[in-house]
Structure 1
């Protein structure tokens, strides 16, 4: 098999799923769940912990929002650095080694956040240390997600590609679900004062322990057959992989970047900002109520990733993109237009569940993106374009969302639709990308 033949064989040929495939899916998905939990637990505590304990009380509410969400976004800004470095070695020495390293790099800063002194104890050093830990987490997650997607794409058989990548993505987003569950348990077991005093540290310390478990679990994974083939035939990229990506695969980079914009906005706005900042902050639902709602959305999100991955195997990427991203555009506008302080919890949870299901559209980003690069530089190509785009769009998404939600700004009396309009806009972009030939079939076109 020469280099061109290996490039054409972008994943294992069609065959039934076997026990080894299932083991790989389960261990990879569980590891992704534990690592993504570590990364997003910060967002679930921004309003209840970060702002009161790590920032000066003299700041205005808007400034507090911008600083707190700015520290959150910092984790995304450094993702390209971690992603490019780990992807470089992933294309050179193997997917599995970097796949394991990324989760080890996540565990330590998560544990440290759990034992950090607060602003009252050490002043300005508290938010600075928190910022540094978030940046270290960002570097780790930058290598984790593209590495996980490539790892599964090169393991599962061709006719189960969408289901395999969708299932892995559901495992990764399951970290959000786990985060909501843990914070709900904390809310139920401790008083508000207890949480502010010490109980808020528990989820982060648990996250550090989860990281160690993830490292152990990944010892049982084997290197991907595609990389083994590249190594055996000495077809590993001889140049710096990311340089080859920039020279020869610009179209693939643009496709992944645009889809990443859609993914990052759906997750950041729909899942992470909406519960505390919108449902809790603007519509004044109790902490426990919006955490349960967020938990329901995270659950249906994980189901949506699997459903839309399976649908991609059946209908292809273009039709599936129209269904899932189109559904997200409609359901997001309906969700935000229906919110009101006096609505019943039953209705809130129902429309939130539907909205969360269509946020599962995010699985289409790795499904389409992974197959647009040849094996020799696949990890670097996906990691570079995905992480760079994520850093770019996440840098302004929290600020833009807060701006759109303010009645004094652009949308005026329609500001309650701000988040929905933004999500619908990026969903339409994703639908358009789905019609591009390289996005339809990848290297098989």
Structure 2
């Protein structure tokens, strides 16, 4: 059996990407996710300011709670987007679905960038922020499944890990760019300018990626032609692969919780809990962004070379479980920028060394006819339940208990859930 047949999967016709088109393929499949992650990063870093402008409250934690709740509510739409767009990708092709998702992302980002503050428009501005987050969540719910399936299918089996790793690597690049943008704005602009118009600039700049993404995606080669007479992808998914879906959802727990707490919530944590200046806290986003990118690509290479990927996933989870509590204890006992940066990088590297191999395990357990919808449902539900809610849950725990180690306890529980799920999975790898 050759690589083209293996990439195709059951009941589909896949066309491996030509060697000279690999860069275009990776760029096209990563840009949508990168745009969304950039917006998420910027929103997280400006959550204190957004809370002040759009969700005023007398309680010092109240505005932040409402801001991170709006951040998290976008995740509520992810499962719906995963079901609708993921199924569309399995029925009509990956390219059509990816074009749809990036258009929805643009609409959502515009809502946030153009929303008037509460002081001038009242609740209307708050509702625009909410609408933008809902549109972004819906689009990304289907984006991950369609684009990651295309990355896997567009080429030989031996390079799957490298191609899929760029899906996570693009998140790290976006986090880095978002952190650099936020740091530059906080440094260069006075508070009045930042509150009136400066915070909108990153969202408007992020929109410049959209035309490039739309153009590249329109010229991609389709990797999946579904049978017009095939049964509903969702029906097949939940009838024959429901156990894989459940295990996959639980297996995403640790990675998503770490991603949204260490990469996105840490700047807010540094300001609110550790009392560090905002400009220094953005360094955390830069360091974790670089770490995420490098480690994801290394993990992709390892996944292509290892005979079995499951041991690497288990090892990364065990390391993360052992490291998370001591890391947060040290951060609070000896708060300093170098220590926070080193430990944030350590936690990010530890969990993400196993994330790319785990993605591949999930993709290879699903046939091509339900691959996009399956991964969309797995990732969107997992991120919604354990990732999107993490900032709100941890902020509530910090507010009610006053325990600065609350993030560590939450991440530890998520790691235990993921470890149990991964141990129950039987790896199926094509050779």
TM-score w.r.t. the length of structure 1 is 0.87
TM-superposed CA distance for 1:236, in Å, is: 5.5
Q: Does 1:418 align with 2:406?
A: yes
Q: Does 1:253 align with 2:248?
A: no
Q: In the alignment, which of 324, 329, 342 is matched to residue 332 of structure 1?
A: 324
TM-superposed CA distance for 1:107, in Å, is: 1.1
1:179-223: per-residue Cα shift (whole Å, max 9, x none)?
A: 112111212221222101211111111122222332123223221
- Equivalents in 2 of 1:364, 1:11: separation in Å? 25
Instruction: Show the counterpart of 2:123.
Output: 124
- Equivalents in 1 of 2:397, 2:20: separation in Å? 49
Instruction: Show the counterpart of 1:37.
Output: 38
- Equivalents in 1 of 2:300, 2:63: separation in Å? 39
Is the contact made by 1:269 and 1:398 (CA closer than 8 Å) also made in structure 2? yes
1:271-311: per-residue Cα shift (whole Å, max 9, x none)?
A: 111221x1111001111111012211111011111122222
Is the contact made by 1:25 and 1:152 (CA closer than 8 Å) also made in structure 2? yes
Q: Does 1:202 align with 2:201?
A: yes
- Equivalents in 2 of 1:9, 1:257: separation in Å? 25
Are residues 399 and 306 of structure 1, via their aligned partners in 2, closer, same or farther at CA, if it must alter by over 3 Å? same
Is the contact made by 1:33 and 1:172 (CA closer than 8 Å) also made in structure 2? yes
- Equivalents in 1 of 2:215, 2:343: separation in Å? 39
Is the contact made by 1:35 and 1:210 (CA closer than 8 Å) also made in structure 2? no
Is the contact made by 1:163 and 1:313 (CA closer than 8 Å) also made in structure 2? yes
- Equivalents in 1 of 2:67, 2:218: separation in Å? 36
Which stretch shifts more, 327-336 or 66-75?
327-336
Is the contact made by 1:77 and 1:394 (CA closer than 8 Å) also made in structure 2? no
Q: In the alignment, which of 275, 280, 291 is matched to residue 267 of structure 2?
A: 275
Alignment of structure 1 residues 16-165 onto 2, 5 Å = 18-47=19-48, 49-58=49-58, 60-165=59-164
Is the contact made by 2:172 and 2:291 (CA closer than 8 Å) also made in structure 1? no
Q: In the alignment, which of 347, 350, 363 is matched to residue 370 of structure 1?
A: 363
Q: In the alignment, which of 379, 384, 388 is matched to residue 377 of structure 2?
A: 384
Structure 2 counterpart SS, 1:203: helix
- Equivalents in 1 of 2:388, 2:26: separation in Å? 32
Are residues 395 and 184 of structure 1, via their aligned partners in 2, closer, same or farther at CA, if it must alter by over 3 Å? closer
- Equivalents in 2 of 1:251, 1:236: separation in Å? 26
Structure 2 counterpart SS, 1:434: helix
Q: In the alignment, which of 220, 231, 234 is matched to residue 239 of structure 1?
A: 231
Instruction: Show the counterpart of 2:184.
Output: 185
Instruction: Show the counterpart of 2:293.
Output: 302
- Equivalents in 2 of 1:27, 1:86: separation in Å? 17
- Equivalents in 1 of 2:184, 2:6: separation in Å? 53
Structure 1 counterpart SS, 2:405: helix
RMSD: 2.8
Instruction: Show the counterpart of 1:427.
Output: 415
Are residues 69 and 237 of structure 1, via their aligned partners in 2, closer, same or farther at CA, if it must alter by over 3 Å? farther
Is the contact made by 2:26 and 2:151 (CA closer than 8 Å) also made in structure 1? yes
Structure 2 counterpart SS, 1:193: helix
Aligned length: 426
Unaligned runs of 5+ in 2: none
Instruction: Show the counterpart of 1:289.
Output: 280
Instruction: Show the counterpart of 2:305.
Output: 314
- Equivalents in 1 of 2:420, 2:18: separation in Å? 32
TM-score w.r.t. the length of structure 2 is 0.90
- Equivalents in 2 of 1:158, 1:6: separation in Å? 10
